[in-house]
Amino acid sequence: MPNVYNFSFNGSATTPQADDAETSTVLETGEAGLTLPFDITIVDFVSDGSNTQLHQVAFWVNGRKQSGNLYTNQISPNNPGRLRLSGIVIKAGSRIQLKGSQKSGTAADPFKCTLVYV
């Protein structure tokens, strides 16, 4: 059965932000990242679809950027052709963070992303 971690971004009224300018909060812990107690395999990664502006998101593992830039229009549940991440394994003891930036708009546009794993 899949499990989830939810990541919250505040957004920024100062746009466009530089890539990875904001570190998300892990809603389950209230912290800016988490150290995995066990190996996980990502089976999906999706935004909550609440954002109205374009945002960039990236995976950071052990303090290093480990993905290319993903954009909310690519991972939105409202996009029938959305990008799906799956099969990526992150080892126990690794510290993961999601960093991102708001790329458009004149007001902060908060949103959440969900990482689904087994």
CA dihedral sign of residues 15, 20, 22, 28? positive
Would you state the pLDDT for residue 98?
96
Give domain limits for the chain.
Answer: 3-117
Would you state the pLDDT for residue 107?
95
Residue 28 three-state SS: coil
If pLDDT is split at 50, 70 and 90, which confidence band does 1 have? Answer: low
pLDDT in tens, 11-26: 999 999 999 999 999 9
Architecture (CATH level 2) of domain 3-117: Sandwich (2.60)
Would you state the pLDDT for residue 76?
87
pLDDT in tens, 56-96: 999 999 999 999 999 999 988 888 878 888 889 999 999 99
